[in-house]
């Protein structure tokens, strides 16, 4: 690998890690409070300030981070110290790694060098996301077991059952979409959505609804938050966590929200593509050449981030609108409703493709 390629990969890694840890994680902590306050007719976070400036409560995320950094790192008596410390990292690192194969832009010619805005362009990129997401389950279960707490263990068992159930179903919900695009490469799937009429949401909207429901359940967010149901089991699997280790579990959950949104954008909403204008047309619109490619690249990244923010907003609305499901309701929804519907959708897509009712994009 030459120097230019190393610098390019380093820049893309810095962007992905920076945008997640430096922007989305703290901002989502604020959004979670402020959006709920607006929906419930409250003021919300507004007290933390710097020199009298509150910036609509944004400094609360900074205040929370500082508080938790200096908070006592407590390990309960009888806990497995090594596993107790390792579990939050097992939960956080896969959440970040999943973003490595998600393209946040297209391919641009700058200085005679093709810049592909994805950290790792894998032919089996979608399988990588599913595989790495399943690893995060170990962090939750290990953290619950290592805490030597009955409530934590119950939360861990709930999380294991729920995440296993919905991983199976989530994979089946997008089989029809894979049949439609005939690829497992996320870069190739985005490339086939350059035309607005080839966006996944046009023909695959039932798959989008089923996939989003499964993804939220996989992330253990309301209404699927039974592994950490405060009214039942204190805080579930991370009851015995504090300080930086608590931040890592907390950050992993928010980054997974971003990953879910980014994956939905890539699979169903055209990725970085703007409706009704191609990448080449966008470069020409900005004057062509290196400058045109740079401006088109920045515009594409901005479009991708806006779409991600819209999907995050939708998830937050769901989070503050629906009540928590019971454990039996969560299991029934996954196995008796979404799973059969996903199988029916696979059959329908297969028949539609064979009969020409759903022409696959070139």
Model confidence over 84-101: pLDDT tens digits? 888 888 888 888 888 889
More confident residue, 220 or 178: 178
pTM for the full predicted model: 0.89
Burial state string for 71-91 with b = 16 or more CB within 10 A and e = fewer than 16: eeeebeeebeeeebbbbbebb
Alpha-carbon distance of 156 to 228, in angstroms, equals 9
pLDDT tens for 70-82 read 877 778 888 888 8
Residue 271, phi-psi category: left (phi > 0), alpha (psi -120 to 50), beta (remainder): left
Q: What is the pLDDT of residues 118-134, one digit of tens each?
A: 888 888 889 999 888 88
Measured in degrees and rounded to the nearest 5, phi and psi for residue 115 equal -105, 115
Encoding tokens for residue 356?
Answer: 């020409």
Average pLDDT over residues 320-335: 85
Where residue 71 falls (left for φ over 0; alpha for ψ -120 to 50; beta otherwise) is: beta
Percent of the chain with pLDDT over 90: 21
Asked if 44 contacts 38 with a C-beta cutoff of 8 angstroms, the reply is yes
Question: What would the DSSP string read from start to end of 36-76?
Answer: HHHHTT---S----BTTB-GGGTHHHHHHHHHHHTS-----
Provide φ and ψ at 229, rounded to 5°: -65, 105
Please tell me the predicted confidence (pLDDT) of residue 37. Answer: 83
- Residue range 199-210: average pLDDT? 92
pLDDT at 102: 92
Give the H or E element holding residue 350: helix 339-355
Distance CA 207, CA 224 (A): 19
**In a 10 Å sphere around its CB, with 0-12 CB exposed, 13-18 middle and 19+ buried, how is residue 204 labelled?**
buried
Q: What is the pLDDT of residues 249-283, one digit of tens each?
A: 888 888 888 999 999 999 999 989 888 888 888 88
Cis peptide bond N-terminal to 77, omega within 30: no
> Which structure tokens are listed for 237?
């699997």
Check residue 266 and give its pLDDT: 95
Q: If you average pLDDT over every residue of the chain, what do you get? A: 86
Radius of gyration over every alpha carbon of the chain, rounded to an integer in angstroms: 21
pLDDT of residue 199 exceeding 60: yes
What tokens does 218 get? Answer: 């996989």
């Amino acid at each position: 690998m030459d120097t230019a390629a190393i610098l390019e990969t380093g820049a893309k890694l810095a962007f992905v890690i920076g945008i997640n840890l430096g922007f989305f994680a703290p901002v989502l902590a604020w959004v979670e409070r402020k959006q709920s306050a607006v929906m419930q007719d409250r003021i919300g976070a507004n007290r933390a300030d710097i020199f009298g400036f509150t910036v609509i409560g944004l400094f609360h995320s900074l205040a929370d981070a500082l508080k938790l950094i200096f908070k006592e790192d407590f390990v309960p008596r009888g806990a497995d110290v090594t596993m107790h410390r390792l579990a939050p990292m097992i939960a956080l690192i896969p959440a970040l790694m999943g973003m490595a194969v998600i393209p946040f832009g297209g391919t641009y010619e700058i200085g005679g060098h093709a810049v592909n805005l994805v950290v790792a362009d894998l032919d089996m990129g979608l399988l990588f996301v599913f595989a790495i997401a399943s690893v995060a389950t170990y962090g939750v279960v290990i953290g619950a077991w290592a805490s030597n707490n009955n409530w934590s263990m119950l939360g861990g068992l709930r999380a294991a059952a729920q995440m296993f159930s919905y991983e199976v179903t989530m994979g089946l919900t997008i089989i029809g979409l894979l049949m439609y695009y005939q690829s497992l490469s996320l870069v190739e799937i985005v490339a086939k959505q350059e035309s607005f009429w080839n966006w996944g949401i046009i023909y695959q909207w039932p798959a989008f609804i089923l996939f989003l429901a499964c993804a939220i359940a996989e992330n253990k967010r309301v209404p699927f938050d039974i592994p950490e149901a405060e009214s039942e089991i204190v805080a579930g699997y991370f009851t015995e966590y504090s300080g930086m280790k608590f931040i890592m579990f907390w950050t992993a959950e928010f980054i997974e929200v971003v990953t879910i949104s980014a994956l939905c954008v890539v699979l169903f909403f055209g990725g970085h593509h703007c409706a009704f204008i191609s990448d080449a047309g966008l470069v020409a619109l900005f004057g062509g050449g290196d400058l045109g490619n740079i401006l088109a690249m920045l515009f594409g990244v901005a479009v991708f981030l806006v779409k991600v923010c819209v999907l995050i907003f939708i998830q937050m609305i769901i989070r503050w609108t629906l009540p928590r499901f019971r454990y039996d309701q969560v299991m029934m929804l996954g196995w008796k409703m979404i799973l059969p519907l996903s199988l029916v959708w696979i059959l329908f897509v297969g028949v539609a493709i064979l009969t020409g009712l759903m022409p696959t994009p070139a």
